[in-house]
Each structure stands twice: as C-alpha cells, then as structure tokens.
C-alpha cells in the first residue's frame, strides 16, 4: 500500500489467496490484464524497464554461458584427448621433451611435431634467419616430375640429441641437425658443425658430441619437405577414415559428409600434383575415374561446389592435361546451371545436382554477395575450354548487375542480395570478412584473368580499395597495427575476421600488376597485423575473429572473445605470406609461415593421421580439438605453405596463373589481340 500523495516508488499489491479462484487460462489472462491496467503508468514503465533490463542481461551473458555449456559437453572429447595424451598419442604440451631412442632411424614423416623447432612469440624470431633453400630446378613443368631428396633417410645421431640427413647416395654433404629442445641448428654450407654450437640450451651438441659427429656440412631443414610430410600425414588420416567422403574427423576416426562428393579428395588433387606426391595423386585420380559421380540427388551450395569442385577439377586439368578432369568439370558445371534460373538472374545458393532444381535457403530469398560474385573465374574458364558461352554469360550477368546496383558505399558492397529483386538487402553493414570478402578478390582476379581489358572490373576494384581506406581502416593502441574494421549503420566495429587476411596478398598482386604503390604499403601493414593475430596467441594460431583495441587499457592490441577463439586451419594469412614473399623476397614472410606450420604441427596434428580444427587458440595445454579437418587445409593451406617455401618462382607463376579463392590456379588467358 502507498499513500496517494507519494507515487515515486512501486508497490505491487497481491490479491488474497481466497479471492483467486482461477478456473481456466482465459480467466487467468483476463485477471492479469485487469491487474496490469490497474497499475499506474510509472509502475508499468518500471516493470517494462526491468523486463528489458533482464532481457539485455540475458543476451550479454549468453555467449559466456554457452561457452561454459560447450565446455561441459566437450568433456568427453577432452577425456578422450587426455586419454590419448596418457598413451602418448597426441602432441605433447609445451615444456615436455620427447625422447628419440638412440639408433632409431627416422623419416621426415616420422618426426613428431614436438621435435620441430619450438615456437617463440611474439617478437623473438624462431630462427635467426631462414634456411637456405634448395636451388630451384632448372626445368619448368609440374614438380611431380622433379626429383626431391629422399625423405626417408634421416638418421638419429647421438641418441636424442641430433638428426643428420644423408644424401641418397649415403654421402655426408648435406646434413641437418635438430637439437634435443627442438631448436633447429643451422650452418652455412662448408661450416664446421662445431662452429654452430652456441651454448648449452638449444644447442645441438657439446664439444664431445661435436667430436662424435665429426666436422660436417650442415644445411637447413628443407621446409618444402616438411610441408610434404604434413600433407602425407593429413592424407594418411583421410585415407584411413574418410576415403571418398567429404571431410575427415580425425579424432573420432570417421568422416563427415556435406555434399557427399569426396570434397577433400577433389580439393586436394592439384595440391598433390604441385607437391609432387605421385602415388597419392595416382590413387586419387583412380577414385575420380571410378567412383566420382555427380548424378546424385543431393543439394549442394553453388559457391562452395564451384570454388572447390569445379575450380579443383579445372586446375588439375590444366596442370596435368588429363581430360578426365575436364570431363568431370563439364559435368559438374552443367549441373550447377539451374541455380541461375531466378527472377533476377542472381543465382540461388543451393542446387540439387541430380534433379536439376535450385532454391534459396529455407529462411530467406537472399543470396550472399560474396557467393554470387566469386564463381566467375571458374565459369568463365569453363566457357573458354568448352567453347560454350552459357557459363560465362550467366556469371557475367551477375557481375553486370552488381556493378550497376545502388546501395554501395564508396565501392563497398552490402552482404546480401535478393534473388527476386536483384537488389542489395540488409544494407548498412560493410565488411571485408565473411559474406563479402571474395567479391573484392574476384574483381581484381577477373581483370587479370581476362588480360587486363575489362576496365569496369578494375574501376570497381580501385574504388573499393579507396572505400576500405576511407571507411574501414584503423590503427590499434598501443602498437599501431593497421586493421580493417566493420561498418554497421555508420558505426565502426573494431573487429576483423581472419578471412580478411586474404587482403594483403590481393593488394600486393594488384600492385605487382601496376596498381597504385600505396596498395603495397597497405599490404605490408595488414600483413604485419595478420602475423600478429598468430604471434600474440598462446598457441601461435590465429583466432577466427580478432577484436582490436583503439584505446587499450590492458596493454594489448588484440582481444579475443570466447566465441571467436577457434581456428579452422584456414589459409588466408599463409596465402598472403606467399604473395608477399614472391613479390618482396623478404625472408621474414617465410619465417612467419614456418612458425604457423610449427604451431599446426604442435597443436592440431592428430597422431593417427590428419589435422583438426581447434576451439581455443589461447589454451596451449588443451586447445579443444573440434574433430574436423576442413577440405581447404589440403586444398589451400598446405599448398600455399609449399609455394611459400619453394624457390621455384615458375612453379605456378603469378604472371601466368590466377588462383581462385580456394587456391586452385587457373590460367591467365592468352592475349588474342
């Protein structure tokens, strides 16, 4: 009760028990409604305010609650992981040193990841300088035909302390030494081993050991061989547990299905060819020849199947000249065409490749802008090869429409486009990350693919980069890292998807092709930021999304929200490192890539075969394996690592090929004029 004069507080009067003879729901609702009407406006406002407050609290705390819940449900996985750990079956936590029994002969494929050089972060480089690479082969053509060193001829010398690699003929001229801590010891050709010993910890050998080893010439570990070994390890898991299926689940030793089309196998075909893995390629080719059928009643995503399957088959055809892959490419390309039968000619996201029907997702008639604008390289190439213009016409109609559309902001595009109206929807949000990223990438790459003649593509690309600079670029505090934020209704959100790390490479590719030099300046800065997204994490692996501090009160430039701590073995940073190294020859980019490979080996490698995405890049003790190896780990990540470390600039020359957004190289069209 309250006095009529004082109404600055709330009083809820509950009726007495006997007066509440509720008979049914309706009566109860009426009674509640009457009570509600009896309240003063102030009381009602306060109650509504309270409810709104509780709702907002719920939303704010939901991510951390779900994280906890997920932590609980992760428990059995965690127990499995610990069980594997107990049995010595998983990458050991940092600090534990594996012992290699004296006299054991190791192949590179047998080197456990923990023996690999230890990662030092953030500012101390892993190695004082990058190892000298093998001389590039003088002949051109597929590396599959090039002879590489025999990787099985690694020998342990002096027990756990050092490994010496012998030449195929058993000679001693090329040797690599790995210390017991895993720190790599290198020396120049012709340098005596003893002169490479710098101290006790992290040093290959003391005087006695050096005497045992005798003065020998040592050289750096061949990084391309380490990538080959990583591929073989991933392939071993895929073969054993997921052969012919879409994805490997390496921890549960089974497979996951998305389209049911052997996605990992197809995505990995050209990687095997480029890495020179003949046997693996041959067995995969056999599967494509005898098992792969697109005549299936299955819904596939237009974009994903274009970039992974069509792109993978086309590039493998170009690299090998084997028409099996062209025939398969024609088959899938043709089956994807129903996606373009929409009122606007902006394609639907999903196609049933068996029935020849297409549809948008169940909840919307929108398609994603990146998805409809990042299928052009592949369909254009299919038309060129088949001399059938229908593919090129369909995708270029999309390009034409998007070029003309209203709703861009300084060349930046919204994330959704409607398949009925052909207009952008949900305008107001602009990002270089998910749902828009490869729109920008394909503007530049189509211009290159077509011989730099299609000026509208170039104009749109140049305008978009200006739009990025004007609207999205910021620098962090305290270290002034440049990043690309997201714009939401005029408000800048200082977060960046790992996906955005394709941008330094694309900018550098543009600058290499005569676009403004300040594109290269921006590429250099963004490359540093993407590197820091790895280097500043405890596992040395980047989170899916980084939040950047504009005014740091915790001394850090980068924060990671609990929901964004996962790493899916994505390629974008390594992709950009590859471009940056090719164009600058600055060895730091190789070292950064090497660090990432070490971290993949340390935290994501599953001993029975395969690599797994992880849920927590901030926890080096238990990074929470997610039990999934994405097909792009083989299609892109390992391919770009190999190309980054290869000294052969002609191996997929950037003046002859453009990579599609799934790292499948397609030829730049020969000039007809």
In the complex, least distance from residue 259 CB atom to ligand DMJ, rounded to whole angstroms: 13
Residue 661 annotated as part of some ligand binding site? yes
Whether the Cβ atoms of residue 351 and residue 299 lie closer than 8 Å to each other? yes
Whether the Cβ atoms of residue 300 and residue 358 lie closer than 8 Å to each other? no
Q: Nearest CA to 534 among 126, 181, 66? A: 126
Figure out which of the listed residues 241, 300, 662, 665 binds ligand DMJ, where binding follows CB under 6 A.
662
The answer to whether 289 is a known catalytic residue is no
**Which of 162, 395 has the CB closer to ligand DMJ?**
395
Distance CA 335, CA 337 (A): 6
Whether the Cβ atoms of residue 562 and residue 63 lie closer than 8 Å to each other? yes
Site for ligand DMJ in 495-524 (CB under 6 A): 499
* Residue of closest CB approach to ligand DMJ: 661
287 backbone dihedrals φ, ψ, rounded to 5°:
-65, -45
The site that binds ligand DMJ (CB under 6 A) totals a number of residues, namely 8
For position 440 contacting ligand DMJ by CB under 6 A, the verdict is no
In the complex, least distance from residue 409 CB atom to ligand DMJ, rounded to whole angstroms: 22
Figure out which of the listed residues 182, 312, 360, 571 binds ligand DMJ, where binding follows CB under 6 A.
571
Distance CA 286, CA 244 (A): 11
**Which of 106, 509 has the CB closer to ligand DMJ?**
509
Q: Nearest CA to 580 among 538, 660, 513, 520? A: 520
In the complex, least distance from residue 443 CB atom to ligand DMJ, rounded to whole angstroms: 14
**In this structure, what is the dihedral angle of CA atoms 649, 653, 654, 659, given to the nearest 10 degrees?**
-120
**Which of 571, 620 has the CB closer to ligand DMJ?**
571
CB atoms within 10 A of CB 74: 18
Figure out which of the listed residues 438, 449, 542, 624 binds ligand DMJ, where binding follows CB under 6 A.
438
DSSP structure class, residue 308: I
Whether the Cβ atoms of residue 583 and residue 514 lie closer than 8 Å to each other? no
Whether the Cβ atoms of residue 286 and residue 245 lie closer than 8 Å to each other? no
**Which of 255, 308 has the CB closer to ligand DMJ?**
308
In the complex, least distance from residue 641 CB atom to ligand DMJ, rounded to whole angstroms: 14
**Which of 498, 602 has the CB closer to ligand DMJ?**
498
- Kindly tell me the burial class for residue 228, based on how many C-beta atoms sit within 10 Å of its own C-beta (0-12, 13-18, 19 or more): buried
**Which of 262, 571 has the CB closer to ligand DMJ?**
571
Q: Nearest CA to 117 among 192, 226, 14, 9? A: 226
Site for ligand DMJ in 642-661 (CB under 6 A): 661
Joined tokens for residue 622: 């238990």
Figure out which of the listed residues 223, 239, 566, 570 binds ligand DMJ, where binding follows CB under 6 A.
570
Distance CA 553, CA 550 (A): 9
Q: Which of 229, 304, 459, 564 is catalytic?
A: 304
Distance CA 431, CA 433 (A): 5
Q: Nearest CA to 375 among 661, 583, 21? A: 661
Distance CA 627, CA 608 (A): 12
Q: Which of 247, 371, 437, 460 is catalytic?
A: 437
Joined tokens for residue 458: 């170039």
Q: Nearest CA to 580 among 571, 570, 590? A: 590
**Which of 184, 263 has the CB closer to ligand DMJ?**
263
Distance CA 634, CA 213 (A): 38
Paired strand residues for 493: 486
Whether the Cβ atoms of residue 112 and residue 630 lie closer than 8 Å to each other? no
In the complex, least distance from residue 301 CB atom to ligand DMJ, rounded to whole angstroms: 11
Instruction: Find the radius of gyration of the CA atoms of the chain.
Output: 29
Q: Nearest CA to 623 among 78, 60, 128, 201? A: 78
DSSP characters over 38-68: HS-HHHHHHHHHHHHHHHHHHHHHHHHHHHH
In the complex, least distance from residue 107 CB atom to ligand DMJ, rounded to whole angstroms: 30
Pairing between strand 558-559 and 657-659? unpaired
Distance CA 613, CA 629 (A): 6
**Which of 111, 638 has the CB closer to ligand DMJ?**
638
**Which of 183, 448 has the CB closer to ligand DMJ?**
448
The answer to whether 173 is a known catalytic residue is no
Q: Which of 118, 161, 270, 572 is catalytic?
A: 572
Whether the Cβ atoms of residue 294 and residue 334 lie closer than 8 Å to each other? no
Long-range contacts of 423-427 (CB under 8 A, 24+ apart): 424/369, 425/366, 426/366
Give Cβ neighbours of residue 57 (< 8 Å, ≥ 6 apart): none
Q: Nearest CA to 380 among 276, 282, 455, 310? A: 310
Compose the 596-635 pattern: x for residues touching ligand DMJ by CB under 6 A, - for all others: ------------------------------------x---
**Which of 417, 500 has the CB closer to ligand DMJ?**
500
**Which of 422, 571 has the CB closer to ligand DMJ?**
571
Distance CA 360, CA 363 (A): 8
In the complex, least distance from residue 663 CB atom to ligand DMJ, rounded to whole angstroms: 7
- Kindly tell me the burial class for residue 295, based on how many C-beta atoms sit within 10 Å of its own C-beta (0-12, 13-18, 19 or more): exposed
The answer to whether 437 is a known catalytic residue is yes
The answer to whether 460 is a known catalytic residue is no
Binding residues: 661
Active site residues: 304, 437, 544, 572
Binding residues for Ca(2+): 661
Q: Which residues bind ligand DMJ (CB under 6 A)?
A: 438, 499, 570-571, 632, 636, 661-662
């Amino acid at each position: 009760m309250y006095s009529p004069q004082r109404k600055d507080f709330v009083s809820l009067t509950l009726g007495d028990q006997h007066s509440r003879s509720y008979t049914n729901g309706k009566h109860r609702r009426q009674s509640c409604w009457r009570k509600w009407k009896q309240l003063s406006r102030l009381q009602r406002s306060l109650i509504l305010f309270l409810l709104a407050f509780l709702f907002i609290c719920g939303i704010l705390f939901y991510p951390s609650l779900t994280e906890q819940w997920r932590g609980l449900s992760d428990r059995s996985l965690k127990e499995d992981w610990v069980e594997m750990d107990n049995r010595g079956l998983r990458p050991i936590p940092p600090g534990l040193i594996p012992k290699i029994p004296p006299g054991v002969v190791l192949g590179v494929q047998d080197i456990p990841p923990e023996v690999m050089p230890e990662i030092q972060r953030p500012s101390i480089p892993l190695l004082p300088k990058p190892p000298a690479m093998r001389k590039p082969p003088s002949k051109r053509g597929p590396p599959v035909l090039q002879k590489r060193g025999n990787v099985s001829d690694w020998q342990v010398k002096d027990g756990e302390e050092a490994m010496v690699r012998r030449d195929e003929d058993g000679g001693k001229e090329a040797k690599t030494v790995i210390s017991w801590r895993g720190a790599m010891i290198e020396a120049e050709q012709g340098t005596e081993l003893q002169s490479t010993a710098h101290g006790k910890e992290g040093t290959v050998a003391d005087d006695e050991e050096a005497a045992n080893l005798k003065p020998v010439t040592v050289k750096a570990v061949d990084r391309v061989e380490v990538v080959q070994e990583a591929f073989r390890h991933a392939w071993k898991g895929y073969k054993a547990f997921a052969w012919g299926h879409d994805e490997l689940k390496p921890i549960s030793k089974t497979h996951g299905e998305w389209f049911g089309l052997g996605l990992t196998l197809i995505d990995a075909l050209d990687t095997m060819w480029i890495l020179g893995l003949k046997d693996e390629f041959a067995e995969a080719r056999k599967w494509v020849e005898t098992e792969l059928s697109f005549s299936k009643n299955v819904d596939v995503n237009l974009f994903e199947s274009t970039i992974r399957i069509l792109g993978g088959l086309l590039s493998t055809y170009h690299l090998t000249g084997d028409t099996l892959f062209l025939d398969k490419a024609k088959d899938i390309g043709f089956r994807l065409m129903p996606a373009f039968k929409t009122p606007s000619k902006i394609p639907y996201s999903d196609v049933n490749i068996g029935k020849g029907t297409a549809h948008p997702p169940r909840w919307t008639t929108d398609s994603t802008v990146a998805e409809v604008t990042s299928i052009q390289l592949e369909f254009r190439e299919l038309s060129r090869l088949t001399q059938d213009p229908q593919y090129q016409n369909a995708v270029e109609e999309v390009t034409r429409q998007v070029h003309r559309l209203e709703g861009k902001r300084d060349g930046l595009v919204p994330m959704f486009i409607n398949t009925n109206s052909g207009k952008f929807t949900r305008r107001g949000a602009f990002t270089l990350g998910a749902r828009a990223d490869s729109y920008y990438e394909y503007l530049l790459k189509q211009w290159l693919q077509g011989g730099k003649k299609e000026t509208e593509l170039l104009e749109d690309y140049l305008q978009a980069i200006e739009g990025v600079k004007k609207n999205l670029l910021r620098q962090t505090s305290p270290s002034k890292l440049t990043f690309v934020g997201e714009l939401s209704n005029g408000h800048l959100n200082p977060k960046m998807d790992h996906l955005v790390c394709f941008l330094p490479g694309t900018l550098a590719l543009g600058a290499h092709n005569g676009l403004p030099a300040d594109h290269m300046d921006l590429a250099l800065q963004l490359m540093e930021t993407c590197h820091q997204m790895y280097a500043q994490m405890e596992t040395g692996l980047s989170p899916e999304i980084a939040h950047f501090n504009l005014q740091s009160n915790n001394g850090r430039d980068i924060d990671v929200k609990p929901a964004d701590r996962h790493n899916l073995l994505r390629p974008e940073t390594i992709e950009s490192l590859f471009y940056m190294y090719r164009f600058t020859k600055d060895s730091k980019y190789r070292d950064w890539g090497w660090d990432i490979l070490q971290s993949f080996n340390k935290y994501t490698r599953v001993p029975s075969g395969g690599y797994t995405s992880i849920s927590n890049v901030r926890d080096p003790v238990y990074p929470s394996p997610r039990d999934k190896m994405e097909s792009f780990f083989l299609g892109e990540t390992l391919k770009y690592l190999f190309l980054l470390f290869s000294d052969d600039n002609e191996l997929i020359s950037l003046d002859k090929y453009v990579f599609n957004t799934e790292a499948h190289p397609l030829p730049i069209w020969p000039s007809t004029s």
